[in-house]
Amino acid sequence: MRTTLELKGVPELILEKSVELKLARSKTDALRMAIFALNKEFNLIKDIEMELVERKLKKEEAEMQRKGIKHLSEEKALKKYRWTIWS
């Protein structure tokens, strides 16, 4: 996601100070750190890895539906590899 922000006043000073004190390499990094701190403080996403996996699966499933692709069974998916797995 790309977002353009214009910050003035206190938020701008805080970002500049975080870079000046080398807490962050850039204002963008400082914003990323703030987002993670926000999640930690308010526990917005409890299991980040599972959330990312769920989103990826939903995206792939929507793409499959859009293209009319059906799910493969485990047997069909592994069929061409059977000789390497069981030999």
Task: Rounding to the nearest 10 degrees, give the CA dihedral for residues 1, 50, 29, 6.
Answer: 40
Quick check: 6 pLDDT over 80?
yes
Q: Is the pTM of this model over 0.75?
A: no
* Predicted confidence band of residue 77 (pLDDT cuts 50, 70, 90): confident
- Distance, in Å, from the CA atom of 85 to the CA atom of 71, rounded to the nearest integer, reads 22
Note the pLDDT tens digit of each residue in 9-32.
999 999 999 999 999 999 999 999
The pair of structure tokens assigned to 80 is: 């061409």
